[in-house]
Amino acid sequence: MYDTQTSSDEETSSVQQESPDSPEPSCVSMKSDCSMDHPPMRLNTQKKSSDSPEPSCVSVKSDWSMDPPSHHKSSALRRKSKLKTSLRKRFECLYEGTAQQGNPTLLNEIYTELYITEGESGEISNEHEVRQIETQSRRAATEDTPIKCNDIFRLLPGQDKPIRTVLTKGVAGIGKTVSVQKFILDWAEEKENQDVQLIFPLPFREINLMKDKTLSLSDLLHVFFPETKEMEISKDKYKVLFIFDGLDECRLPLNFHTNEILRDQTKETSVDVLLTNLIVGNLLPSALIWITSRPAAADLVPSECVHRVTEVRGFNDPQKEEYFRKRISDQSLANTIIIHLKSSRSLYIMCQIPVFCWISATVLENMLSEAETGEIPKSLTQMYTHFLILQTNIKHEKDYEKNVTDEDMILKLGKLAFQQLVKGNVIFYEEDLRECGIDVTEASVYSGLCTQIFREESGWYQGKVFCFVHLSVQEHLAALYVHLFYKNNSSQVFSRDFCAISMFLKHTLSDVHQRAVDEALQSKNGHLDLFLRFLLGLSVESNQILLQRLMKQTRTSDSNEETVEYIKEKIRTIDSPEKSINLFHCLNELGDRSLVEEIQQYLKFGRIKEVKLSSSQWSAVVFVLLTSEEKLDKFDINDFVGRDNKTEQLKALQKLLPVIKESRSVQLRDCGVTGEGVAALTSALISNPSHLRLLDLSYNKISNSVKLLSPVLEDHRCKLEILRLRYCDLTDEGCAALASALRSNPSRLRDLDLSGNKIGNSATQLSAVLEDPRCKLEILWLSDCDLTDEGCAALTSALILNPSHLRNLNLSRSKLGDSVKLLSNVLKDPRSKLETLRLYDCGVTDKGCAALTSALRSNPEHLRDLDLSRNKIGGSEVQKLLNLKDDPHYKLEKLNYYLDFSSFLRNSGW
């Protein structure tokens, strides 16, 4: 299972002191959003001393001289070897939910390579992590920069700045902790990264247990790693890597902006001060730092402290199949399971999360290999309910059965799951358990009974941590608890004074559901979205029958019709298209697909433009398009609304923003977009700037509102290649803002069309972009832009400085006159690769034409298409060009021209 840690060996640390009956610690890493409400942190602005070394490595050096005696060298080598051995024993096994049952698996035997990318995938998402997974599943791998786990500190081609701190993001269960585990194991087995001499893994969940301690950095290392007791932290002897796994689990304040600055590694202070100074680089500025986090907490570390961001994306489709074939020895059964999961779009997308692959394999292997009569799970609620049943069946095989009933255990664990979910916690300490009426002894019994649901972990530092095997398991148990609470709300097993659950003291099941819908919609980060889907799914009759195998209960007679209508009403009225997507998932759990099927028919037969859609129907369009297996390569507003209905087009634009955000080509030509529409478009694009390749806003009167696009265009993650803004009423101010944004990020754009905008001399602003050696622009259209001599001179000057990329230049309908002679200097440059030059109606004279002819004779290799139509050029000059066209030595293939017969007659003596 992924995002897990291994159990520790008894030789790992002398600090760990467990009672004789303490279970062998398993370490399933559960990531919480416990710190999501913390204010954004700011880096202390006090500068480091000028002699601080550049980040490259950290050294741990003892008191002896730089050339220590050989027996000291030997002692140091023994300590490093002992640390490697300790880490190898700790991390060589992977426990897929069964650590305390004694069924470890060697990590190297089952490890499946994860898909990891370099760079940001976007800003902090306010969506539930399952929605983030669904979004990622639609994106093409070609737009990412893949990176192997063992290479995260190595420079990629074209990079030259040293990497000190790496932040690795990923949703719960996606494989962050297993990536850390594999990295450490490969190092300990001397397979990879042998330039690193010491690795110190310090999980935040274990550091939390020391939050009230006062000690030095050396003391902290001695506590976790006794092998370092004879080492003194200093400079330039050992290259050291600190790994802080699970930033989102951190319960320290991490006050980067107020904590004291600390450079003395022997000075005692709080653990919070030690960590912030180590991460910032005040302590051990050359130490390598690796931090992992769920996305919601990733911004707790100031961005200026992070030199590389990576993202664990989990399994891609081939890796999903590879996992099941490794996990299940019967290959025929593995194939059956893969086929079943592929038949359900929602389940197969979830298999991007390795932990869900393990849950699915556990359930489906059991159901398909035995004489199981129940329906094979096709929804998330069914899958997780079967998983819970399976775990209680395992419990029945243990000796504890008579002491703990299923109902008692599920109710108490469900209460813990719900209460901590509301708080945003997915790891729990003893004080959290006590708040839910569970003592430590009872919790240990539960973890012994249901090791694949609830875990007790003991790390290197003395102390116990509890968690559910995955966030989704916690969400399912929390939903089950609320469902049972409604059915038994007169029972004494529920505490009426617990305000979080008292919100569900309602008269009917519909009341409970409606309150849950409202709470989920009010959540700023969507943390109740999956809980809501589970809660609604549990009320369906098929799941009610399943629950009878778990609990002594009667099936509810309540109808879900009121709930369905309430959700549809919310879909009609809420402004957020993103939130409506989860409500459609809820309708699916309730078995109502009426809205979706109606829209699918419209789309299938191309009738979507013929129908005036309601607000809820537009939301259904978004849901259908975003959950389709087809990639959203192109979005054209005219595919959804007729060209003549500008009002409806604007309405559709607002509703379809989530679809636009996931499209690589966005065509919004002549659809009445104004400044308000550009602002909305920018808000959608900025959340995913690396995806878009083509944006066409031509024939919309956006004027200076083009400035609103600047945050997208200047973002270093933006990979826009084609930008078309024909006849958009751009002014000098708008052109200046556009040029400024492109100067910030000039290397991606290949095609820029500003035709029809009266920018005049503002074209000089573009010259600063064109002359930048990073600029790779290949097509530039400035037709009908009132370009003047000054503007032409500036463009020409820029192209002379950077002539090797532009292939197509259109300056038609500009009053250039003899200024066209300046362009000849570009054409004659042997570095010029210009293939197409359009000078239609530019006032080109015989002199200008002669200059062009001369330039072509100097550099005949590239120009293929020359348009001189509607220019007053005499026949003799045209003939010289025609001669070049007919000469096989020249590449000119197409010549458009307009003869000035008056000039021709004068030159002929008439």
| Tens digits of residue pLDDT in 846-889 | 899 999 999 988 888 889 999 999 988 888 888 888 888 878 88
* pLDDT of 189 strictly over 60: yes
Place 456 in a pLDDT band, splitting at 50, 70 and 90.
low
Asked if 130 contacts 623 with a C-beta cutoff of 8 angstroms, the reply is: no
What per-residue confidence (pLDDT) applies to 92?
Answer: 87
SS3 234: strand
Alpha-carbon distance of 479 to 623, in angstroms, equals 24
Which amino acid belongs to residue 323? Y
Least confident stretch, 233-242, 243-252, 414-423: 233-242
- What is the helix (H) or strand (E) element at residue 856, kind and residue range? helix 846-858
Assess contact for 140 and 129: CB atoms under 8 A.
Answer: no
Residue-wise burial string across 565-604, b where 16 or more C-beta atoms lie within 10 A, e elsewhere: ebbbebbeebeebbbbbbbbbbbbbbebeebbeebeebee
Local confidence band at 695 (pLDDT 50, 70, 90 cut-offs): very high
pLDDT, residue 396, reads 52
> What is the distance, to the nearest Å, from the Cα of residue 138 to the centroid of all Cα atoms in its chain?
12
The answer, yes or no, to whether residue 708 has pLDDT greater than 50, is yes
Q: What is the pLDDT of residue 384?
A: 93
Percent of the chain with pLDDT over 70: 79
Confidence of residue 555 (pLDDT cuts 50, 70, 90): low
Residue 504: pLDDT band (50, 70, 90) is low
pLDDT per position as a tens digit, 376-406 = 898 899 999 999 888 877 655 544 445 567 7
What is the pLDDT, as a whole number, of residue 424? 82
- Is a pLDDT exceeding 60 seen at residue 230? yes
Q: Are 531 and 479 in contact (CB under 8 A)?
A: yes
Half-sphere exposure of 257 (CA within 13 A, CB side): 8
Task: Kindly report the pTM of this predicted structure.
Answer: 0.74
Higher-confidence position of 327 and 534: 534
At 308-330, the pLDDT tens digits run 999 888 888 898 999 999 889 89
Average pLDDT over residues 199-209: 90
User: What is the chain's mean pLDDT, rounded?
Assistant: 80
**pLDDT at 33 (0 to 100):** 36
pLDDT of residue 237: 72
Q: Which two tokens stand for residue 234?
A: 């200093």
Mean pLDDT lowest among 730-734, 795-799, 882-886: 882-886
Confidence grade of residue 46 (pLDDT, cut at 50, 70, 90)? very low
The number of residues in the chain equals: 910
Q: What confidence score (pLDDT) does residue 890 get?
A: 83
Please tell me whether residue 873 adopts helix, strand or coil conformation.
strand
Report whether pLDDT(458) > 70.
no
Q: What is the pLDDT at residue 333?
A: 93
pLDDT higher at 3 or 696: 696
Measured distance CA(309)–CA(353) in Å, rounded: 20
Sheet containing 165-169: order of strands: 145-146, 116-118, 308-312, 165-169, 288-293, 240-244, 198-201
* pLDDT above 50 (res 650): yes
What does each C-alpha distance from 123 to 66, 295, 359 come to in angstroms? Answer: 46, 9, 30
Read off the pLDDT band of 66 (50, 70, 90).
very low
**Angle, CA of 311, 693 and 623, to the nearest 5°:** 70
**Residue-level pLDDT at 22:** 37
In 3D, which of 847, 836, 900 has the Cα closest to residue 874? 900
| Helix, strand or coil, per DSSP, at residue 70 | helix
User: What single DSSP character describes residue 728?
Assistant: S
Q: Report, as an integer, the average pLDDT of 831-848.
A: 91
CA distance linking residue 689 with residue 664, whole number of Å = 10
pLDDT for 587-632, tens place per residue? 999 989 898 888 988 888 888 888 888 888 898 999 888 888 777 7
Residue with token string 């910032």: 280
686 backbone dihedrals φ, ψ, rounded to 5°: -70, -25
| Residue type, position 235, single letter | K
So what's the pLDDT on residue 553?
60
Is residue 235 predicted with pLDDT exceeding 60? no
Q: Are 636 and 667 in contact (CB under 8 A)?
A: yes
Instruction: Report whether pLDDT(442) > 80.
Output: no
pLDDT at position 37: 35
- The pLDDT of residue 276: 94
Cα–Cα distance measured from residue 514 to residue 496, given in angstroms and rounded to the nearest whole number:
20
614 CB neighbour count, 10 Å cutoff: 12
571/587 Cα distance (integer angstroms): 11
- Which residues on neighbouring strands pair with residue 27, listed in sequence order? 5
Using a pLDDT cut of 90, give the percent of the chain over it. Answer: 29
Q: What is the β-pairing status of strands 93-94 and 105-106?
A: antiparallel
**Backbone CA torsion sign across 147, 150, 153, 156:** negative
Taking only the tens place, the pLDDT of each residue in 331-350 is 999 999 999 999 888 899 88
What average pLDDT score do residues 50-59 get?
38
Confidence grade of residue 54 (pLDDT, cut at 50, 70, 90): very low
Direct distance between the N- and C-terminal alpha carbons of the chain, in angstroms, rounded to an integer: 92
- Residue 121 confidence (pLDDT) above 60: no
Residue 459 has pLDDT above 60, yes or no: no
393 vs 172, which has greater pLDDT? 172
DSSP symbols for 270-312: EHHHHHHHHHHTSSSTT-EEEEEE-GGGGGGS-GGG-SEEEEE
Beta bridge mates, 781: 753, 810
What are 675-691's pLDDT values in tens digits?
Answer: 888 999 998 888 878 88
pLDDT exceeds cutoff 70 at 97: no
pLDDT at 647 over 50: yes
Check residues 837 and 127 and name the one with the higher pLDDT.
837
Strand partners of residue 867: 838, 896
Q: Which residue has the higher pLDDT, 64 or 843?
A: 843
Pick from 351-360, 493-502, 891-900: least confident:
493-502
pLDDT reported for residue 474:
92
Confidence tier at 780 by pLDDT (50, 70, 90): very high
Domains of the chain are: 4-316 (3.40.50.300), 750-910 (3.80.10.10)
Written as one string, the DSSP assignment of 422-433 is HHT-SEE-HHHH
pLDDT at residue 100, rounded to an integer: 45
Q: Which amino acid belongs to residue 533?
A: R
Q: Which long-range contacts (CB under 8 A, 24 or more apart) does 552-557 make?
A: 552/407, 553/484, 553/487, 553/488, 556/487, 556/509
